[in-house]
Amino acid sequence: MTSPQTQHPSLDPEDSRISDDAFIAMQNSDEFAQLRKKFRNFSFPLSVAFLVWYFGYVLLSTYAVDFMQTPVVGNVNLGILLGLLQFVTTFGITALYIRHANKNLDPIAGKLRAELEGGRS
């Protein structure tokens, strides 16, 4: 039986080494700066918005008990409804990020990776 290195020479640790200079050059490239900017422009505002929403819920639960006990439907009150919306928001943000990454981040990252791996020293 052959080892993975024999079947796939690219898995050999010596063959997969990329020089530090190549990493630094890639990090200083315009494409990498664009990738970081697209990531930050999406993730930071969404993270801040979610944290405000989350801590707002916690503060309402702590200091606005009467408001959170407002009945909505049957035994379901506003607190339960807003708590469940926390989960919905989490899944929604995850779906938005996946769509954003697939459309805007992964093509650039794939191109950078191909350039970096193609120019091994």
The mean predicted confidence, pLDDT, of the chain is: 88
Return the pLDDT at 10. Answer: 46
| Residue 3 counted as domain residue | no
Please write the tens of the pLDDT for every residue from 65-119. 999 999 999 999 999 999 999 999 999 999 999 999 999 999 999 999 999 888 6
Quote the domain boundaries for residue 90: 22-118
Asked, for residue 109, whether it belongs to a domain, the answer is yes
Tell me whether residue 28 is in a domain: yes
Examine the pLDDT at 3 and tell me if it is beyond 70. Answer: no
Residues paired with 17 in a beta bridge:
none
Stretch (H or E) spanning 76: strand 76-77
Does 8 fall in a domain? Answer: no
Can you state the percent helix, strand and coil of the chain, rounding each to 5?
Answer: 80, 5, 20
Q: Is residue 98 part of a domain?
A: yes
Would 68 be classed as within a structural domain?
A: yes
Structural domains in the chain (count): 1
pLDDT per residue as tens digits for the range 7-48: 444 444 555 688 889 889 999 999 999 999 999 999 999 999
pTM score, whole prediction: 0.76
